[in-house]
Structure 1
Amino acid sequence: MTIQTEQRQEYQKKVEAELRKMNAQIDEYRAKVDQSTAELSATYHDQMEQLYAQRDAAQRKLEELGRSSDEAWTEIQKGFEQAWNELDASFKRAVDSFSK
């Protein structure tokens, strides 16, 4: 196993753990939204749909990363990181707006 392969595997393990953590946070946020008033819940339903869509996009990029060749890996990693950053930012905005 080459160092590059080991680095890829370590990176993938790290981001898989981060994605699992984000999934748990989204589920926790969803539970809070579900417990809110019907009017407030309807407002945040759209945010939840956006979070799920972005989470799914990040998951697809992670899967693509795992299947990629050495030559394509760096480019796909950039795509994953962009998807991850968008998901993270959306989640933070959703939590901030719900807390107000």
Structure 2
Amino acid sequence: MDRKDAYQDKLQAQLDEWKAQIAKLRAKAEQAQADARLKYMQEVDELREHQKKAETRMEELQRAQGEAWKDMKSGVEAAWDEMGEAMKRARKRFS
């Protein structure tokens, strides 16, 4: 396995974990009282937007040829950082 494959596997594992966490937060939002439900669902929608951005970066990385993927790492990592921070904020708000 080359470095690109290992890097992609690491990113995919994190995406899968976030997807599971978002599903749990969505379930919690659906069980909330009506006034809180709207707030929680907005938070879930924001997380999904961050998730889509991270997935798009992952797809771009997968399409990169040769060593070009290394040039894309900073953009991918920025998307991952944004998603990670959004997840932290959401977990804090949902607790």
Instruction: Name the TM tier (shorter chain).
Output: over 0.9
C-alpha distance in 1, partners of 2:18/2:45? 15
Instruction: Give the alignment of 1:33-48 within 5 angstroms.
Output: 33-48=29-44
Runs (4+) of structure 1 exceeding 4 A deviation are none
C-alpha distance in 2, partners of 1:29/1:61? 23
Q: Compute the RMSD of aligned alpha carbons.
A: 1.2
Instruction: Give the alignment of 1:1-100 within 5 angstroms.
Output: 6-99=2-95
C-alpha distance in 2, partners of 1:17/1:71? 22
TM-score by length of 1: 0.88
TM-score by length of 2: 0.92
User: CA offset at residue 30 of structure 1?
Assistant: 0.8
Bigger-Rg structure (1/2): 1
User: When the two structures are aligned, how many residues end up with a matched partner?
Assistant: 95
Distance 1:71 1:10, change over 3 A: closer
- String of CA shifts for 1:44-72, please: whole Å, max 9, x gaps: 22211110001000001001001112342
C-alpha distance in 1, partners of 2:44/2:70? 30
Counterpart residue type for residue 68 of structure 2: A
Counterpart residue type for residue 60 of structure 1: T
Identity of counterpart residues, as a percentage? 35
Stretches of structure 1 that go unaligned for 5 or more consecutive residues are none
Stretches of structure 2 that go unaligned for 5 or more consecutive residues are none
